[in-house]
Structure 1
């Protein structure tokens, strides 16, 4: 539990840092003379909104990770053996994140063709990741009733919520492809979701058992 609370605190700290970078804590009505801060895209309301949303999403996944760790204590818990495809699906997710980073940099340089191609690659790689996740869910569901396998149930719950966030991101990605801006925010969103899924997958793959054992040893 302490580990999860620390993760939530880190997410809040990162969110506050992000919001401070957007200028949300500034008080221009108290300033005199010319402000040294020049307005720019970093101060856009969309950036503030995304930063706030990511803090909320990070807290939600941290709570689910906490529930996973605490639920592993009772004796009816059975370790989850993840299919190899669950780990292999990290490759298209990483490719999508890298493609959107390229798109963001191309956007800054005004390279419209590279930006469009990178956005398209990012969307295709994300679709490949979602297809791989669907295959993993089918494999887990085919091995027996989910109610009797809590690990598989947690995987479907957490993985489904993560996939839902990515599907929503694809809508924003489609909008960014039709406009000259937005790739930077899409890249940040994909980076954050990729990092969150890597942590959740590590917990589901066995790291949560070690954390649960450590917490029990400390508390007892």
Structure 2
């Protein structure tokens, strides 16, 4: 429950920041004495707003799963699954993938077609390496006796990381569609909005992954225990 509340607080803060950026709370007619006719700032594109809503839903889903993971530990204490070292390598690969997507967004904004193609290729390849690495990490865990139908901690690990992998696959499909639309004669700036949305999606999945790793290693539980002691 603490994770869900923390996520909701973060979501409310993000929405408040977005509303402030849109100047929805401003009253320019009180500042200038002129009745407002039109908005000075451009409206947020529907695809951007749609992605933010989707990320909010995805974040809420993982927050509920993480909360169930923590509550189950509190109710029936179990030993956490020892994460293979490959998981940390996969985390570094996902960080690189997020960086490549950000570079691609910057390249599209500046109209650098060659850098855009290279960055998208590197981002897609590193993401594929991440997925293969996760499947390999699952095999390592099953070989060491941590089966899907075994300990609750192992079941949660396979469920949550598998769900995260499905969202990664969905992002790769979307990125592939954007990349295919970059015809040889097209202008990179026209694809900037789509590439920027892909980069935002990757950043969000990277953030979720880091939070999940904190839970699976027990770091998140210690932070939550500290928060509970402060709130009491």
Q: Do they superpose with TM above 0.5?
A: yes
Q: Distance in 1 between matches of 2:25 and 2:64?
A: 28
Structure 1 residues 215, 37: CA separation in 2 closer, same or farther (over 3 Å shift)? closer
Q: 1:219 to 1:46 in 2, by over 3 A?
A: closer
Match of 1:206 among 218, 221, 225: 218
State the match for 1:81 in structure 2: 82
Task: State the partner residue of 1:184.
Answer: 196
Q: Which residue of 1 aligns with 2:208?
A: 196
User: Does structure 1 residue 153 correspond to structure 2 residue 147?
Assistant: no
Shift of 1:14: 1.5
Q: Tell me, which stretches of 5 or more residues in structure 1 are unaligned?
A: none
**Count of paired positions:** 213
| Closer, same or farther: CA 213–178 of 1 in aligned 2, 3 Å | same
Q: 2:120–2:179: 8 Å Cα contact kept in structure 1?
A: yes
More displaced stretch, 192-201 vs 72-81: 72-81
Alpha-carbon spacing, 1:134–1:100, altered in 2? closer, same or farther (3 Å)? same
Q: Which entry has the higher C-alpha Rg, 1 or 2? A: 2
Runs of at least 5 residues in structure 2 that lack an aligned partner in the other structure? 27-34, 182-189
The equivalent of 1:5 in structure 2 is 5
Taking only aligned residues, the RMSD between alpha carbons, in angstroms, comes to 2.7
1:206 offset after TM fit, Å?
Answer: 1.5
Residue of structure 2 equivalent to 1:92: 93
Seen in structure 2, the aligned counterparts of structure 1 residues 104 and 214 have a Cα distance that, compared at 3 Å, is same
Q: Distance in 1 between matches of 2:227 and 2:72?
A: 12
Q: 1:195: Cα distance to partner?
A: 0.7
Give the whole-Å Cα distance in 1 for the aligned partners of 2:15 and 2:165: 22
Are the counterparts in 2 of residues 100 and 183 from structure 1 also a CA contact under 8 Å?
yes
**Partner SS state of residue 148, structure 1:** coil
* Structure 2 counterpart SS, 1:37: coil
TM-score under structure 1 length normalisation = 0.85
